[in-house]
Amino acid sequence: MTTVDDVAYLYLDLLQELDLRDVTLVGVSLGAWIAAELAVKSTERLAKLVLANPVGIKVGSRETRDIADFFAMSDDEFNAAAFADPAIAVRDYKSMLEAQVLRVAKNREAFARFAWSPFMHNPKLSSRLHRVNVPTLFLWGSQDRIVSQDYGRAYCAAVPGARFELIEAAGHFPHIEQPEIFAAKVLDFMEYDGSSRRVAGAGR
């Protein structure tokens, strides 16, 4: 696998292999990009889609940087851009096990492999987002400085009927900084059928 497109097909195969249906698919950042790529291919096994601070499209001009070049940032610079509270993401590499440090390096390597060129987006994805035909929720950490709120709203506008909700005191990874609020918003979205009614039998 060399592209996000490849990963999306892998997950489609997994859904089929496990015979999963009526799935609420939730992704954050790169994971949300993968989820969007999956959904434009097929929503047959999906019930709903939740995209939190996704990357994956280009909304500005050729000269406009939509997504911060975090590959060129130090850890401290990245944490300051990605988190409302940068201290939450600080790692003491000297105290970590060698296997843990290796995992961090491997994750970064994989991230670069899938998203380096073109940088953090698929030029064709934005024109395919109209194919997403399941209820979709965009969750957005309001203090994200990796991708702007305007970027998120433009992304949301490209998905038919999608709605956009902010999560305060959170950055690019709202599920880490505000896990209870994040989970509550996902569960509330799962419980509604798109009108004012809750889905019968759904609960927490």
DSSP code string of 55-119 = -B---S-TT---B--GGGS-HHHHHHHH-SSGGGG---GGGS-HHHHHHHHHHHHHHHHHHTTTT
Round to whole Å and give the CA distance between 194 and 124: 29
Mean model confidence pLDDT for the chain:
92
151 to 10, 68, 69, 130, 156: CA distances (angstroms): 27, 12, 15, 17, 9
Residue 160 DSSP label: T
Residue 140 DSSP label: E
Q: pLDDT tens for residues 110-159? A: 989 999 889 999 999 999 999 999 999 999 999 999 999 999 999 999 99
The CATH number that domain 4-191 falls under is 3.40.50.1820
Q: pLDDT tens for residues 149-171? A: 999 999 999 999 999 999 999 99
- pLDDT of 194 reads 59
Round to whole Å and give the CA distance between 56 and 144: 16
